[in-house]
Structure 1
Amino acid sequence: MDLPADKRAAYRALVDAVLGGRGTATAEQRTRAFENTETDPALRPLLEKVATAPSRITDADFDRARAAGSSEDHLFEVVIAAAVGQSTRMYESALAALDEATAG
């Protein structure tokens, strides 16, 4: 199932801004958070929860990441990248399932 061009453009702009925009986290750090791969061990527990159990994130998760040296801005950027990445994977899986279900 193809997205209309304007929705594809909006999605691409979002991902480009999250991954390549200015910030305190490097583009590589944001990309790793987006892809849910090889993130900083100090951030791993928090970012894993973003991807798999966001309702279980607590202040203590952020406190541990800050105690390991992450700033508020850095945490914001990698958490958003992780959330957008997980949303992307879920959305693409849903579109693939819909395509499969409606294939002639």
Structure 2
Amino acid sequence: MSRTEEFAALRRHLVSRVLDGPGSTPAQLRAGAFGNTVATEPLGRFIMLVADNSAQLTDADFATLSAAGYTDDQLFEIVVCAALGAANRQYDAARAALAAALGDEGADDASR
């Protein structure tokens, strides 16, 4: 197994554990946070901020969700899912750009 294949397998395992493993947050909500597809407010805005502009998150954002009934454990899981989803999208985009610029084999070589 190449290093690229090994990394891909580890990445799939991580995503599976985060999205499908045990947690305080329902799996469907974790998947929505991962995909940045939650539309309900204030949670949708919170997830968008985590994924795209985490420097703008404030204590007030966490307080709003706590007041809406989310526990600290659930907020932690939502943050992890949103951040992991954003990282995966960025990684996939970078790999696609490498593949386009260098060809598929060049992208594999560049990741080593």
TM over 0.5, yes or no?
yes
Question: Measured at CA, do residues 103 and 21 of structure 1 come closer, stay the same or move farther in structure 2, by a change above 3 Å?
Answer: same
Structure 2 segments unaligned to the other structure (5+ residues): 105-112
Letter in 2 for 1:24: S
Conserved 8 A contact 1:33-1:81: yes
Question: Measured at CA, do residues 65 and 3 of structure 1 come closer, stay the same or move farther in structure 2, by a change above 3 Å?
Answer: farther
Distance 2:103 2:77 in 1: 38
User: Where do residues 1-104 of structure 1 align in structure 2 (5 Å cutoff)?
Assistant: 4-103=4-103
Q: How far is 1:35 from its partner? A: 0.5
* Identity, % of aligned positions: 39
Structure with the largest fraction of helix? 2
4+ residue runs over 6 A deviation: none
TM-score normalised by length of structure 1: 0.91
TM-score normalised by length of structure 2: 0.85
Distance 2:78 2:86 in 1: 12
Comparing both chains, which one has the higher relative contact order based on Cα–Cα distances under 8 Å and sequence gaps of 6 or more?
A: 1
Question: Measured at CA, do residues 83 and 13 of structure 1 come closer, stay the same or move farther in structure 2, by a change above 3 Å?
Answer: same
Structure 1 segments unaligned to the other structure (5+ residues): none
- How many residues end up aligned between the 2 structures? 103
Distance 2:5 2:97 in 1: 21
Letter in 1 for 2:87: S
Question: Measured at CA, do residues 75 and 17 of structure 1 come closer, stay the same or move farther in structure 2, by a change above 3 Å?
Answer: same
Distance 1:39 1:76 in 2: 19
Letter in 1 for 2:56: R
